[in-house]
Each structure stands twice: as C-alpha cells, then as structure tokens.
Structure 1
Amino acid sequence: MKDSYKTIVKPTEETLYKDRGSKFYGYAFPLTTDEEVNDLIAPLRNIHPKAGHHCYAWKLGPGEDNYRANDDGEPSHSAGDPILGQINSYELSDVLVVVSRIFGGTKLGVGGLISAYRETARIALSNSKIITRTITARVEIHFEYPQMSQVMRFIDEHNFRIEHQELTTTCFMTIAVPKSRQKEVADLINTMYPISAKIPA
C-alpha cells in the first residue's frame, strides 16, 4: 500500500512544440474527479478554434487502475498513450494533460505524432510544480488529562497530525497517520495503558 503520491499544485502555463508546421499546445491541470475533464478542455476549444484535435490523458488516485487516454481523432494510440506515458514517467496522479494540435499541412505519420505528443506532454509537465501528498487514515485516542503530555510527546515524535480534540477530564483526540501504518499505530498506543486507541468505523 502506497502512503504517498505526486501531483501538481496548479495549472501550468501554455507550452508550444512545433514539428513540420504543426503546432502542439500543451497544458497540465490538477484533477480531483474525471467529471472535471470536459470542463477543463472546453475553454481550450475556444482558445484554439483551428485545432483539429484536443488529445488528453488523466490519472486519478494513488493506484494504477484509474486513468484514461483519448486520441480525439488522431490514429489509435498515437496521442493519448504518449501523453499518459509522460504522466507515468513523472509518477503523477490527480492530473490531466491536454495537447491541442493545429495541423500545419504536412502529415507526421504515426511515429511523428507519438513523438510530438510525448514531447509536448513532457514540456508541459516539466513546467509544473510537483508536490508529494501523503495518504492518511484516522486513529482515535482516548485518555485522561494526566496522560496529556505522554500523548502529545508520542504524536510529536512521530510527526502525526491532530485533526480533532476534546480536552476535558476525559480526553478524546483524532490523529491522521500514514494509511499503511493505521493498525500498527493503534496497536502501539494500546500498549500505553491507560491510554487507548481504536480505528474509527
């Protein structure tokens, strides 16, 4: 189970790659759901009304099974797949890359298209600000007020994040921990009697 993945912070500036008269405009966008894809591509059709193709690829989540590649009328696998290949090369998720092509009068052939779409996607992603996001899960901690310093020391030592807390005579706290360590952390806290932990339903 992966605890983190890379994504981009914000949309990139437009990039331009040229090959034998054809112009390839590249864009990369942060993505939270596949329902956003059409809304992000629609303005590009207005920006480049002469573009015959708006090819794209996207990938969502930390796994390897939620992605799509679209050739938008180009020969099969000549556009979407090379774009997706660059997303994978940068090990990114939650991202959409679009390449808008204006035909320049000379056919590039399938090999030329693959190269051009791949290079345009690479340039767009090389201009993006990439961050690493940690995938977290919650652990609930129950303790009495005298154990406060022990609990806080444990949280600080492991760099866990407090998401919620109720501090009275009997205290309750929810912390965010790396997802793959959720059970391990809960079990560890449960050895610190009388402090107890549980994994929320």
Structure 2
Amino acid sequence: MLFDDTYNTLQQPAESVFTDRGSKFTGIAFPVRTEAEFKQQLAGIKAGHPKAAHHCWAWRLTPDRSIFKVNDDGEPSGTAGRPILNTLLSKDITNIGMVVVRYFGGTLLGVPGLINAYKTTTEQTLAAAKIVQQSITDVYTIIFDYQQMNTIMRLIKDEQLEVIKQSFDNTSSVQVAIRKTQVNTILQKLSNLTGVSTTYNYTM
C-alpha cells in the first residue's frame, strides 16, 4: 500500500435532530484529537442536556484510524454506540467525536428501531458537517540555543511549518507540526545546525 498522508475529519462541530415515535435524538459531531478532549466535550454536552435519557457516543482517533471507543449509555448493548461508530467508519472519518443525546418519548423503539435511530442521526449530522481532508503531521519539539533563534524561525517560515507552542529562554524550544512527507528533509536540515536538537512528540 502506498503511504497516504491525508485523512478526513470535521472542520467544525455540527448538529442535527431526528425524531421517531416521540423520542428525540440530537446528534452532535465535533473534531477531537485526544480522548481527554472528547471527555471534556462530552461533559459539556451532558451539562447542556441534563434531562436526557441517554448520551450515547463513539469516537475515532489517530490518522491511521485505528483507535476508537463506543458507549451505549444504558441503551441495549450494540444498539447505539456501535451504529454510531459504523457510520463514522463508512464515511472514513477520524479525529472525530459523535454524541447522540436521546430524550425518551414514551414508546419503546425495539432493537431495530434504536439501531436505525442512532445510525440515521449520525448520518444526518455528518451530512450537515463540513468534512475536510487533513495532512498527517508529526509533531516535533526543536530545542536550540538562543543565538540560533533567527535561523530556526526562518526555517519554520520557509517550510511553512505550523507552530503549536514555543518557549524562549536561555534554552529555547518550539513545537512544530511537520507534514509526514517532509519530516526527513526538515530533520536533516535541523541536524546540520549546531546547538539544535529535536524530539518526536506524537503524530496527528
């Protein structure tokens, strides 16, 4: 397989509402990069919908799309989190959190009805979302002596690297995102400079 350094994700959060026999399902999709980030968003959604019967969800992380988790939050096993995840898989989206908030309408929907409701809500929400293609990037911290500041900053600008965070002191550091296909070239250029070292942090 050829190395593909792009993946699909959401540009911004999206919402939609689906109703079935009185039950109201609100789908909320949002871009996330870590489980901690997802938990924070979920807590906010729960706080915003305290009277809902269920807050079911699925998330999928990492550019290689390998990490995911689902939760039925009290619905019969396999009727909520899995249909949500399966829809994310079919759309080939990653770095995404999807929560479906259910307000119970008094009529039981049964297993097929629940699977359909959670799947349809997710599909509608993704249809309302703007899906974008992102490049896979490796995040590195460049550590350098203060006198190398201009050289490093020029390199970052010339190579159009995204700066994530920086700290300037006696020993300075800049955390940058480098597109996967550029990594070897950039690291080679940095290794040619004296008083400069790099540390790999993570891939996003």
TM-score normalised to structure 1 length: 0.69
Q: 2: distance between equivalents of 1:34 and 1:28?
A: 14
Q: Is the CA contact 1:2–1:62 (under 8 Å) kept in the aligned structure 2?
A: no
1:134 corresponds in structure 2 to 135
Deviation at 1:89, TM superposition (A): 1.8
Change (3 A) 1:162 1:44: closer
Change (3 A) 1:136 1:65: closer
SS state of the match for residue 76, structure 1? coil
Deviation at 1:180, TM superposition (A): 5.2
Is 1:67 aligned with 2:68? yes
Is 1:4 aligned with 2:10? no
Deviation at 1:182, TM superposition (A): 5.5
2:79 corresponds in structure 1 to 78
SS state of the match for residue 106, structure 1? coil
Deviation at 1:46, TM superposition (A): 3.0
Q: 2: distance between equivalents of 1:126 and 1:39?
A: 24
| Number of residues of Structure 1 aligned to a counterpart in Structure 2 | 166
Which residue type is aligned with residue 123 of structure 1?
Q
Is 1:55 aligned with 2:56? yes
SS state of the match for residue 126, structure 1? helix
Unaligned runs of 5+ in 2: 141-157, 164-176, 193-197, 200-204
Which residue type is aligned with residue 136 of structure 2?
I
2:45 corresponds in structure 1 to 44
Deviation at 1:20, TM superposition (A): 0.8
Q: Is the CA contact 2:162–2:178 (under 8 Å) kept in the aligned structure 1?
A: no
Q: Is the CA contact 2:161–2:178 (under 8 Å) kept in the aligned structure 1?
A: no
1:172 corresponds in structure 2 to none
1:29 corresponds in structure 2 to 30
Unaligned runs of 5+ in 1: 139-155, 165-175, 190-196
Q: Which runs of structure 2 are paired with 1:150-189 in the superposition (5 Å)? A: 161=160, 179=180
Deviation at 1:161, TM superposition (A): 4.4
The alignment-based identity, stated in percent, is: 43
SS state of the match for residue 93, structure 1? coil
Q: Which string of whole-angstrom CA distances, capped at 9 and with x for unpartnered residues, describes residues 29-79 of structure 1?
A: 110210122221223223322211100001111113211111111111110
SS state of the match for residue 92, structure 1? coil
Deviation at 1:181, TM superposition (A): 7.2
In our comparison, the structure showing a higher alpha carbon Rg is: 1
Q: 1: distance between equivalents of 2:161 and 2:21?
A: 56
Change (3 A) 1:33 1:106: same
Q: Is the CA contact 1:2–1:180 (under 8 Å) kept in the aligned structure 2?
A: no
Q: 1: distance between equivalents of 2:60 and 2:115?
A: 19
2:89 corresponds in structure 1 to 88
Q: 2: distance between equivalents of 1:35 and 1:182?
A: 27
Deviating above 6 A after TM superposition, structure 1's stretches of 4 or more consecutive aligned residues are: none
Change (3 A) 1:52 1:177: closer
Q: 1: distance between equivalents of 2:136 and 2:121?
A: 30
